[in-house]
Amino acid sequence: MDATKASSHAIPHAKEMKNASLCRSLAHQHKFFSVRDSVLSWVKSHDEQRYLLRGTGKGGRLFAFKLNKDYAFRHIFKSGGTTIQEQTRAGHAGHVPQWIVGNRSLMTVVRDPIDHFLSGWAECGYRCFDEMMNLTTSDAYDDRVTAWLQYVQSPKRIRCLNTVMPHSMPQANYLWEGDRKFEWDEKLDLVGDLDELPGLLELIDVHYNESLKKGNAAKDNEIKNRYFPRNKSILSNSTLKSICSYVALDYYLFSFEPPPACRKELLMIS
C-alpha cells in the first residue's frame, strides 16, 4: 500500500529526524503514521487478510523499558532490546508494565522483516535446540526455515518453542494497544530504524554511550552460526514468498523493500 501524502508537520518528530540525518528512520516514521489507519481498515475489511491481526502470544503484555521521564522503549523482540538494557540503568530492571510506563510516550525500532524472522528463528533454535532440530528430518536450509514458519503458523504447541516463538513474530504484532484489541497503541509516537538507534536515543535526550556493548551479536554465537545461520540469500523464492506473506504487515507499515520474489503479491493491495 502506497503511503498517503501527508504534510511533514503531521508526522511526529519529522523535522527533528530530518535535521539529525536519520533518513531511514524518517522513512519508517513517515510511512507508519501516514498509512497505519488505512492499512488497519483494509485488513479488517478483507476476510482473507484478517490473519494479519495477531498479537505476540504473550497475553497482550507491554514489553517496555523506561528511558527517561518522557519516553519508554517499546521492545520488539530481536530489535534492540539488549542495547537498550546496556545503555540505560532503567533497562537493567527489565520490562515494566503499563502502569509504570504511565504517561510516557513510546518509541521503538524495526529492522528488515525477513532478517527479523530469521534472527528470531536462530534465537529460538539457541534457546530450544532439541525441539527446533526435531521440527524436520531434513538438513536442507530451506526445509528447516520452512518447518519453523509452518510451526509458528500452526495450532501445534511445544512448551519450549511456544515460549520463545514471539521472537520470530511480525514486528507489527508488538504495536497493538492489546492482543485482544487490534488498534495501534496511541502512546507510540516514534518508529525508527534499528541501525539508527544511537541517533534516535539522542533525539529524545538519552545519551548513547559508544563504549558500551551493542546488543547480542549472533556472529559470536557458535550454535546460531553453525545450526541456524541467517542467510536469506539462499532461500528459495517459494520460501521467501511464504515468509513475506507471514510478515506482510511489516512491509505495509514500514519502509522496507521486499525481496523481488515478494513484490507482486505485496503490491496487490489497493
pLDDT at 214: 63
pLDDT at 94: 80
Q: What is the mean pLDDT of the chain?
A: 89
- Give the total residue count for the chain: 270
Q: Give the CA angle between residues 179, 180, 182 to the nearest 5°.
A: 80
Residue 173, Cα to own-chain centre: how many angstroms? Answer: 8
In a domain, 91, yes or no: yes
In a domain, 3, yes or no: no
In a domain, 1, yes or no: no
Enumerate helices (H) and strands (E) in the chain, giving the number of each. 13, 6
Reply yes or no on whether the pLDDT at 6 is more than 80.
no
Q: pLDDT, tens digit, for every residue of 146-166? A: 999 999 998 877 999 999 999
- Give the total number of structural domains in the chain: 1
In a domain, 79, yes or no: yes
Q: Which of 248, 4, 193, 33 shows the shortest CA–CA distance to 259?
A: 248
Reply yes or no on whether the pLDDT at 4 is more than 70.
no
**Strand pairing report for 181-184 and 105-110:** unpaired
Reply yes or no on whether the pLDDT at 218 is more than 70.
no
In a domain, 191, yes or no: yes
In a domain, 184, yes or no: yes
In a domain, 6, yes or no: no
The residue segments making up the domain with residue 76 are 11-265
Residue type at 233?
S
Reply yes or no on whether the pLDDT at 180 is more than 60.
yes
pTM above 0.85, yes or no: yes
In a domain, 96, yes or no: yes
- Please, what sign has the CA dihedral across residues 40, 42, 45, 48? negative
The grid coordinates of residue 31 equal 510511512
Reply yes or no on whether the pLDDT at 223 is more than 60.
yes
